[in-house]
Chains A and B, each alone.
Chain A
Amino acid sequence: MTLFVAERVDKLFPGVRALDGVTLALEAGSVHALLGENGAGKSTLIKVITGLYRPDGGKLLLDGSEVAFGSPHESAAAGIGVVHQERNLIPGFTVGENILLQKLPTSRGLVDRAAIRSEASRWLAELDLDIDPDQPVTELSVAQAQLVEIAKALSVESRVLLLDEPTASITPNEADRLFRVVDKLKNDGRAVLFVSHKLEEVFQICDTVTVLRDGSSVLESGALADLTRDQVVDLMVGRVHEALSLPPRTVDRSVDPLLELSGVSTATGHADIDLAVRPGEIVGLYGLVGAGRSELAKALLGLDRITAGEVRIRGRAVRIKNVRDALRNHKIGYVTENRKEEGVFLEQSVSRNIAVTIWDRLSKLLGYVPAKAESALVARYVEQLGIRIASPAQLAGTLSGGNQQKVSLAKWLAAQTEILIIDEPTVGIDVRTKDAFHTLIWDLAANGLAILLITSDLPEMITLADRVVVMRDHRVQGEVANDHDYDRMSQQVIRLIHAERAVA
C-alpha cells in the first residue's frame, strides 16, 4: 500500500532548479533508499516533504489525499517523522523529554514526569532500546543519540519515517543496531525513507530506490533486487557534461614535491595520510561531506594539531604553527570554503581585502599603511584575475559571489604564495564565472604554483585536477590519475568512494 507520494515536485532557488519534477513513492512495510551525489537534491526533497521548504510545483499525497505542510510541526502532526542529518537533541534535557518534546504530556498544568517516563519508555521499547528515559542526553553515545532521535520521530505516531544519513557518524557495529531497528519499523508496517551515501548499507536494508541527479529523478522506485551496484553508480553519476577546453599543461614529475605528507594523523581524526603536490600540479581531494578534507587543510595550516607523521615542504620536514607561520615561512595560502564567513571582509574595501596578507610589507612607520600602496598593488590583481569593480574602494560585500571569490584568491596571490589550497571554489557561482575560475586556477598551476583543490563538484574536479585523491572517513581511499575523460573518471572515483576498504 502506498502511504506517501511526492509527485512531480519542483523547487526553485535563485538561479538554480534544485528539484525538477521529482517523484517519490513510499510504500508501507518497505524501506526506500534515496541516492544521489552531493547537491543532487536529496536534502532539499526532505525539507520539502517536512514543510521546511514550500514546493514550487507538484504535490504531496498522504494516504491518497493531497497535503501541504507550512512547517515541520504540521508534517509531524500528519504522522511524518524525520531524523535530520544534524543532531537535534536539547542538551540538558532528559532522554524522555527529548523524545516527547513536540508534545510534552501535562497534568494539572505541570509537565507530567511519570507520563514522560512511561510514554518515552514505550517508544524506546518499541525500538528494543535499553536506554533510561531519565538519563540526560549529554550522557549518550553518538549511536544512542541517533536511536533516541528515531524514537523522537516515532513519538508523533508517525507512519512515514525519513532518515537523512543516519549512519554518517556512527561505527559499523552501531549501524548494525540501527539496521535492526529499521527492519523492525518496516515489519511494523511503516514506510521508511533511508538516505545514505553508503551503497553497501542501501543494498543491505533497502527494498526500493530512487536516484536523484542534478535535481531530477533518474530512477523512480526501482527494485534494488534487480539492480547491481555498478548500475546504481552509473545512474548516480550520469554522463552529461560538456568539458571546458583548456590549453594543455604538463607536470614535470621529476621535480620534487613542494608539499608532501607522509603518514600524517591529526587531532581531528585523520589517520595515515600520504599526499604529494609538485610545482605546477593540481591535486584534487575528493570525498563526501564529512570525509575530512577541509579539516586536513586546516591541520596543514596549523589550525588543528598533527599528531603523527611528517609534513615536508620543499623537501624539509616542518611543523607549521599557525596561518601566519604557514604564509610567511612556507608560502602556503588557503582560499576558504565559506567566502562570506571565512574568506572576505564584507564591510571592507576590495583593496584592503587583497592587501590584508601583506600589510606588514606595505606598512611604514608605526604600522601606517599608505592607501596608495594598497591600491597600486591591488590594481595588478584586479587586472590579472579580471575582478569587476567600480573602484578599489568598493566594499567587498557589494560584489557578486564570483568576484568575492576572486578577491579571496587575490589576497593569497598578493602574498606570493607557492602552495595554494583551494576549498570548494565555485559553490553558488554561475556557470560562466565558474569556467572563468577554472581557467584561472589552471593558469596559476601553469605558472608553477602547487595547488591542492578540494571540491565536491565532480565535473570541476575532473576538469582541473591532474590526480584525484579520494578520501573517506578521514583516510585516503586511493588515487586516480586524471585523463579528463569524464565518464571513466567519475566511475573510477565513485567506485573508490564506495569500495570496501582493504582490511584496516
Chain B
Amino acid sequence: MRRFVKTTEMTLLVICVVFFVFLVIASGGDLVGANSLKVLLQFLAVPILIGLAQMVVLAVGQLNLAVGAVGGFAAVAMGVMMADHGVPVPLALLIGFVLASLAGLANGLLVVLTRINGFIVTLATMTVLLGVQYRLVGTRTVDAYPQGLKSFGSYAVFGVLPLIFLVALLVAGLLSVMLRRTVPGRQLLASGGNPIAARLSGISNDRSVVLAHTLSGAILGVAAILTVASSPGVNKSIGGDWLLPSFAAPIIGGALLTGGSAVVLGTVLAAFIVRFVDTARAEFSLEPSWVNFVVGTVVLGSVVLGQVRTRRQSRRTVVKAPDAAVAGRVS
C-alpha cells in the first residue's frame, strides 16, 4: 500500500477526483445528476477498451496503428451482417469478435514471421482493413439492426451505471488478472521488459508478441460490439478517431514505450481524464479542437515525465533496459 501512494496510478486518481469535483462545481451540480453521470460513463466504455488494446501491445514493446481499423472493420462487419443479411445478433457479434481477434493474430504473426517492424506491419494492415471497411458499407450508415441490441447499449444499472461501461471494466479486470497472474501474461511482460533475459530464461519472445497482438484484436472486438450497441448506426468513419486516444490512455497511464509495463488501472484512469477534458469542453462550450490540443499536450508531457523518471531510476539502480546494460559494457 505504501508503494501505491508513490505510483502514477495514485497521481492519476487524485487528478481524476480533483477534476471531477471541479467539473461538478463548474456545472453547478448538474454533473451529479443521474442522467449526466450515465452519459459520462457511457462514453467512457469504448475509450477504455481502445486504450487497453494499445496498452497490451505496448507492454510487449510493440505498437498497433491498426486499432481504429480493426475496431471499425469489425463494427461495420457486424452491422452489415445484421442489417443486410439478417444474421442473428449473437452470431453476428461473435463473428465480428472473432474477425477482430484474427486481425490481431495476423498482425502478430506478420511481425514475428517477417521480422518487419510492427509500425510498418500495422500501418499496412490498417490500410487494408480501412479498405475492407469502406467496401462493406460504402457511404451508407447502417442502422437497421435489432432494437434489443440498442437497448443493451443504452441500458444502465440503477439508471446510472451503463452496461457497456461495466463490460469495459470487466475486460479491464480480466486483462489485469491475465497480465499479473497467469504464466503467459507474466511471460508477455518479461519479453517486453528485457527480451534477452526472457530468452535466457527459456521464454519465447515470439509467442509473447503474437499473444499481445491477438489480445489487442480481441479487446478491439469487444470495443466494436459496444460501439455497434451504443451508436445510432455504423459507417465508414467508425474507428477513424481512435488512434490518438488509444495511445493517450496508456501513455498518460504510465506505460513505458520500451515495453514491460502493465498499467491497466492507469489506462482506465487516464481514459477518465481524457473524458473529463471532453466534458469540460462541453461545459464551457469551447471549440472541439481544444480537446485534441489538450490531450496531445498532456500525452507529450507524460512522455517527457516518463523519460525523466526512467532516467532518474536508472541512475539509482542497476536493473535497466537491456540496451543500456549492453552499452554499459563497452569499455
**Residues of A participating in the B interface, judged by any CB pair closer than 8 Å:** 71-73, 76, 84-93, 97, 101-102, 104, 106, 109-111, 113, 137-142, 145, 169, 287-295, 337, 454, 456
Contact = CB atoms under 8 A, between A and B. Distances in A.
B34 interface: no
B212 to A, nearest CB: 15
Per DSSP, chain B at the interface is helix
B312 to A, nearest CB: 11
Contacts of A101: 186, 190, 197-198, 201, 203
A140 B317 CA distance: 7
A76 B186 CA distance: 19
28 contacts: A72-B200, A72-B201, A72-B202, A76-B201, A86-B322, A86-B329, A87-B318, A87-B320, A88-B200, A90-B319, A91-B193, A91-B320, A93-B186, A101-B190, A101-B197, A104-B183, A106-B183, A138-B313, A142-B318, A145-B317, A169-B318, A288-B331, A289-B331, A290-B329, A294-B331, A295-B331, A337-B330, A454-B331
Given A72-B199, A88-B194, A90-B260, A138 B331 contact: no
Is the contact region of chain A dominated by helix, strand, or loop, or is it mixed? Answer: loop
Interface string B156-193: 00000000000000000000010011110110011001
Given A86-B325, A93-B190, A290-B331, A110 B177 contact: yes
Nearest to A71: B202
Contacts of B325: 86-87
Nearest to B178: A110
A46 to B, nearest CB: 12
B2 to A, nearest CB: 12
Contact of B181 (A84, A93, A111, A287): A111
A89 B319 contact: yes
Given A97-B186, A101-B198, A106-B183, 17 more contacts: A72-B200, A88-B197, A88-B200, A90-B189, A91-B193, A91-B319, A93-B190, A102-B201, A110-B181, A111-B185, A139-B317, A145-B318, A169-B318, A289-B330, A291-B331, A293-B331, A295-B330
B189 to A, nearest CB: 7
B202 A141 contact: no
B1 to A, nearest CB: 12
Contacts of A71: 202
B198 A111 contact: no
Interface string B195-234: 0111111110000000000000000000000000000000
B261 interface: yes
B188 to A, nearest CB: 11
B298 interface: no
Interface residues of B, number: 33
A288 B330 CA distance: 10
B116 interface: no
B326 interface: yes
Contacts of A88: 194, 196-197, 200-201
A289 B319 contact: no
Contacts of B183: 104, 106, 111
B95 interface: no
A93 B317 CA distance: 14
Given A87-B325, A137-B319, A111 B196 contact: no
Given A84-B200, A111-B186, A89 B331 contact: no
Contacts of A456: 331
B149 interface: no
Nearest to B261: A92
A289 B329 contact: yes
A78 B202 CA distance: 13
A85 B326 CA distance: 10
Nearest to B258: A91
B321 interface: yes
B202 A73 contact: yes
A134 B248 CA distance: 30
A71 B202 CA distance: 8
B329 A85 contact: yes
Contact of B318 (A76, A109, A140, A293): A140
Interface in B295-326: 313, 317-322, 325-326
Given A85-B329, A89-B194, A111 B260 contact: no
Contact of B330 (A84, A106, A294): A294
Most interface-central of A88, A91, A92, A292 (chain B CB within 10 A): A91
A86 B196 contact: yes
Nearest to A285: B331
A213 B307 CA distance: 44
A109 B177 CA distance: 11
A429 B177 CA distance: 52
A111 B182 contact: yes
